[in-house]
Amino acid sequence: MTLTAHLDWDRRRRLGISEAIWGEHKTAEQIAAILESFHGRGEAALVTRVDAGKAADVAALLPDLRLQWHDQARCLSCGHHPLDQNASEAPVTILSGGTSDLPVAKEAQLALEFHGVAASLMLDVGVAGLHRLLERLPLLRSSRVLIACAGMEGALPTVLAGLMPQPVIGVPVSVGYGVSAGGRAALDGMLASCAPGLAVVNIDNGYGAAMAALRILQASVD
pLDDT tens for the chain, residues 1 to 222:
355 667 777 787 788 888 889 999 999 999 999 999 988 888 889 999 999 999 999 999 999 998 999 999 999 998 876 665 555 578 999 999 888 999 999 999 999 999 999 999 999 998 888 999 999 999 999 999 999 999 998 899 999 999 999 999 999 999 989 988 899 999 999 999 999 999 999 999 999 999 999 999 999 765
Residues 6+ apart with CB under 8 A from 100: 151, 173, 175
Contact 17, 214 (CB under 8 A): yes
Contact 202, 170 (CB under 8 A): no
184 DSSP β-pair partners: none
Cα torsion 167, 125, 184, 190 to 10°: value is -30
69 DSSP β-pair partners: 76
What's the confidence (pLDDT) of residue 126? Answer: 87
- pTM, two decimals, is 0.90
What's the confidence (pLDDT) of residue 213? Answer: 97
Dmax over CA atoms of the chain, in Å, equals 59
Contact 37, 7 (CB under 8 A): yes
C-alpha to C-alpha distance for 189 and 174, rounded to whole angstroms: 13
What's the confidence (pLDDT) of residue 155? Answer: 92
